[in-house]
Amino acid sequence: MTKRTFRRAFRDSLPIMAGYLALGFGFGVLLQSKGYSFWWAILMSCTMFAGSGQYAGVDFLASGATILTTAVMTLIINARHFFYGFSLLDKYKGMGVFKPYLIFGLTDETYSIVCSAQLDETISKRKYFVFLTALNHFYWIAGSTIGAVIGGVLPFSYEGVDFAMTALFMVIMVEQWIRSEEHLPVILGVATTVVCLCIFGADVFIIPSMALIAFELLLFRKKLDKTEVERDD
């Protein structure tokens, strides 16, 4: 069962492998270009495990940003992760000693797979989540280490590999669309974020988007809430 579970987790992590190796590589190259040896890339990828957060982090390190600036900017950049736990309160129940690691490793990609994976009884959920998170973490650390060691010179251009993340999210969106009869939440998610991106610009649109999405979902609760009956405790 463990072998089967690992195989499934590995298969599901393949799109993420491509993206994380490439994005991690880019991060490693960027960090070493600011004069940091590869140990720093390993340290950051091990302890943060956050794509856009680490890219911004290179700037904070290189410019010697204040602690307050670093904290506030990291909070803003990673704010979207605040949403993720709410859908996993039940799913991550009873995960035991690994639970803190699973929560620590809740990246956009891990979250989207955890939410959408259809696992039957032959798969141990607990092991699957742990394998998936650890594999993704490994790809990320490996990519950033290689990037920091090599430092930007590759015999081929990997420009565009990071489209793997975009493609993965779109595939999950299509899967959800086909499987679900209710399309309002995803429409609200797309429309609200587009409008906020246009109004607030690429640097700060995520927090207003999140606030508006939460507000709209609450507004449409009567129509969308199907948890009432089963959770009547």
Q: Which is nearer to another protein, 113 or 142 (CB)?
A: 113
Of the candidates 154, 51, 149, 67, the one whose C-alpha atom is nearest the C-alpha of residue 105 is 51
Residue 28 and residue 37: Cα distance in Å, rounded? 9
> Is residue 207 a contact residue for another protein (CB under 8 A)?
no
How many residues make contact with another protein (CB under 8 A)?
104
x/- track of binding to another protein for residues 109-128 (CB under 8 A): --xx--xx------------
DSSP state, 182? -
Are 226 and 95 in contact by the 8 Å Cβ rule? The answer is no
Range 42-101, binding another protein (CB under 8 A): 43-44, 47-50, 53-54, 57, 60-62, 64-65, 67, 70-71, 74-75, 78-90, 92-94, 100
Range 212-231, binding another protein (CB under 8 A): 213-214, 217-218, 221, 224-228, 231
Window of 13-21, 125-133, 134-142, 144-152 that interacts with another protein by CB under 8 A = 13-21
